[in-house]
Structure 1
Amino acid sequence: MEIPALTDAEELTCDVLVIGGGTAGTMAALTAAERGANVLLLEKAHVRHSGALAMGMDGVNNAVVPGRAEPDDYVAEITRANDGIVDQSTVCQTATRGFAMVQRLESYGVKFEKDEHGDYAVRQVHRSGSYVLPMPEGKDVKKVLYRQLRRREMRERIRIENRLMPVRVLTAGAGAERRAVGAAALHTRTGAFVLVR
């Protein structure tokens, strides 16, 4: 195979570049597109089965469900469980924003365990508080998210480029004014370079 010349690099443009099509990258792309941005999602493998959660997950371990738990209690328990070695502001963000993410994932079709009354069936695993929300079909999280990416209104805003390995962040400016303006990527099958700006 002959490697294409760098001068023959394809150039792509977007409002928002997301590098990595795992669960976090997929959610970032969906969020940006839902807010009106034209998104380019680069993935070195294939978005459908990439990332740490490609094989699924069995539950959400930080479900602070209103009426069942309080963010302050979650922060205290996680701090205690980790011998105080945590960034409490980050844990607090997780506690206060996590339930909205559970609801968002559920709106996409991710299933969470419910009790006989239709309430979330959170479990207690720490000394106090119930924060673990089982996912009976957690193996399908990535499939559900991929279906969201492929919905017509998302396809119009999100361009997925599989098999592109980012190799360099492109920057502009100098010193304190220096900022990321794109990326250079290498196609993992053809060796062709792609520039994203």
Structure 2
Amino acid sequence: RNGCSAVVRRLVLEIGFGDGESLVAMAMVHPEMDYLGIEVHRPGIGHVLLRAEALDLSNLRVMCSDAVEVLRQLPDESLERIQIFFPDPWPKARHHKRRLIQPPFVEMLVSKLKWAGQLHVATDCEDYAHSILNVLRVVPELANVVDGDGFAARPTYRPLTRFERRGQRLGHEVWDMLFARSQPGV
């Protein structure tokens, strides 16, 4: 041994970070954690890169790619938390098959979470919130971290975005779902 020990940092993955406002804020407040953001909207990626450089953030990386392709390359049990905030709700029934939170995608997400790692999804579409909750509830390796109706209060680590603040002023609700990876049957 050479006397050096590698420091393993906790890695948070955010899928679809939009303009990246909340992703940058989290990376600023939690320098002890590493953040990887995946987005396909190039202006959002550019915004995050400019902000990260201006703030000299060394714990934030972004990728312009399809989330499924990135997930396939990540090692299993490597993520502390996966965040999916305000995915497209595809509100028309005929488009529901396009929604991101579907059983096969969730299976892939779960395999990338460490034991006790968390999957955090937030949406401002009530119908989609119930759909997501129903998908997550039946995954044997996921346990809801809240009791009751299954929706969580917004964790303090998730900053309000300007879109969310605007929605609140208009009376729109937001539903957060927070699940932890556990051993099946536990």
Q: TM-score, normalised by structure 2?
A: 0.25
Structure (1 or 2) with the larger CA radius of gyration: 1
Higher relative contact order (CA 8 A, sep 6+): 1
Q: TM-score, normalised by structure 1?
A: 0.24
